[in-house]
Amino acid sequence: MSAAERLEELPVVGPGRLPEWIRVAPPRGAAYPEVKAILEELRLGTVCREARCPNLPECWSAGTATLMLLGTDCSRRCTFCAVTTRSSHGVVDATEPSRVAEGVRRWGLKYVVLTQVCRDDLEDGGAAVLAATVRAIRRESPSTRVELLVGDLAGKPRSLRTVLDARPDVLAHNIETVKRLSPAVRDRRASYQQSLTLLATAASDSPSFVTKSSLMLGLGEAGPEVEETLHDLRSAGVRLLTLGQYLRPSAVHRPVERYLPPAEFAAWKHRALELGFDGVESGPLVRSSYRADELFSRAIGGA
Low-confidence ranges of the chain (pLDDT < 50): 1-13, 50-51, 303
pLDDT at 65: 65
User: What contacts 204, CB < 8 A, 6 or more positions away?
Assistant: 237
Task: Render pLDDT for 242-254 as a digit per residue (tens, 0 to 9).
Answer: 999 999 988 999 9
- The architecture that CATH gives domain 3-299 is Alpha-Beta Barrel (3.20)
pTM above 0.75, yes or no: yes
User: What contacts 196, CB < 8 A, 6 or more positions away?
Assistant: 175, 232, 233, 236
d(CA 231, CA 210): 17
From 143, 41, 154, select the one nearest 100 (Cα to Cα): 41
pLDDT at 10: 41
d(CA 120, CA 210): 26
pLDDT at 301: 80
d(CA 286, CA 144): 23
pLDDT at 106: 87
d(CA 158, CA 164): 10
pLDDT at 262: 96
**22 Rama class: left (phi>0) / alpha (psi -120 to 50) / beta:** beta
DSSP 112-151: EEEEE---TTSTTTTHHHHHHHHHHHHHH-TT-EEEEE--
Are 280 and 226 a contacting pair, CB within 8 Å? no
Radius of gyration of the chain (CA): 18
d(CA 281, CA 272): 10
pLDDT at 24: 61
Task: Render pLDDT for 134-188 as a digit per residue (tens, 0 to 9).
Answer: 999 999 999 999 999 999 999 999 999 999 999 999 999 999 999 999 999 999 9
